[in-house]
Amino acid sequence: MARSMWKGAISFGLVHIPVEMYPAVQTHGLDLTMLDRRDFSPVGFKRYNKGNDKEVTWDDIVKGYEYTSGEYVVLSDEDLRRANPEATGTIDILAFVDAEDVPLLYYEQPYYLAPGKGGDKVYALLRETLRSAGKIGIATVVIRVKQHLAALVCVGDTIVLNTLRFADEIRTTDELKIPTASSKTAAVSDKELKMAMALVEGMSEEWKPEQYHDTYREDVLALVEQKVKAKETKTITMPGKEAARPSSSNVVDLVALLQQSIGGKKSGKGKAAAESSEDDAEVAAEDDDEPPPPRKVRKPAANDEQEAPAAAKPRKAAAKGTEKIAASASATAAKPKKAAAAKSTAAAPAKTHAPARRKSAA
């Protein structure tokens, strides 16, 4: 079991709940060691005395606050605790607020709170109160040597303390060029919004955190294994030629990109909805198109009475006439041998009767 990193109590009103704090998350980063490229030996760091350049062990290190240039006040852990014993040992709830009122931008680091000795009953009381009221507790707590604003959140059967950033730690967006809803350069049409909504619907699914993992870390570790097998552990790969990035100034057809995205992301429950939305968007797109101008029909001249009706016929009639001509042409082409045989048969009797007439004349 993990070792508790803090022991104290939750306090609100006259209620006092002994708790212990445990880390709620663990990171799986790439633990890379710095090497000297000349002989690939690890590069180490030493704690040294800046006055005499000698190394200092952990046992000889104390904390100090620089109150003036080059002058320090030594502060031990006991000094820091005595400065405000209650702040360092209490999670002091200041108010209860709706969870949706605290933007995600303020959340920083989560910690589990477990009940201390004899605190099961009051711990459960606070948990069920938070759950029933749909509220979170806003509190202050000192962890190590820094005071944090914190939110007490009910997650299942556990009370989670999530440290929050203070308002003065959040940077403003005044210097960022962010388009507003009324910006002309970023105006969104109803058609584009409908297509984007169809894409979101097609990609919607239940939250399953276990299906997401650090693919970049896995790829780097696979590369490490590949270099070990190839005996290229000391090979430094130099940067190659990067592919040209597409220019951000290119104007693209946003609706076309959304349509392609919908075609590639349709799946499961959202597929039918996405198809329906896509059909609606296509109908809307067709409605937006202007109808073609009417075709001008030339008035028939006096000597053109036979040709005028044919010219005024609709496209279907012309298509039927074309089909008839094609059919007769194919029929004629299909029987060339019969026509030739008939022609030769008609010519044959003329040759046989000629000698008969000559014989009677003789």
| 3 state SS for 228-293 | HHCCCCCCCCCCCCCCCCCCCCCCCCHHHHHHHHHHHHCCCCHHHHHHHHHHHHHHHHHHHCCCCC
Both structure tokens of 180: 């507003």
pLDDT at 318: 43
Tens digits of residue pLDDT in 150-183: 999 999 999 999 999 999 999 999 989 888 888 8
Q: Range with the lowest mean pLDDT among 6-20, 82-96, 165-179, 241-255? A: 241-255
Is the pLDDT at 37 greater than 50? The verdict is yes
Q: In this predicted structure, what is the pLDDT of residue 164?
A: 96
Angle at which helices 254-265 and 190-203 cross, to 10°: 20
CB 41 within 8 A of CB 35: yes
Residues 62-111 pLDDT 10s: 999 999 999 999 999 889 888 887 778 899 999 999 999 999 999 999 99
Contacts of 87 (CB under 8 A, 6+ apart): 140, 142, 147
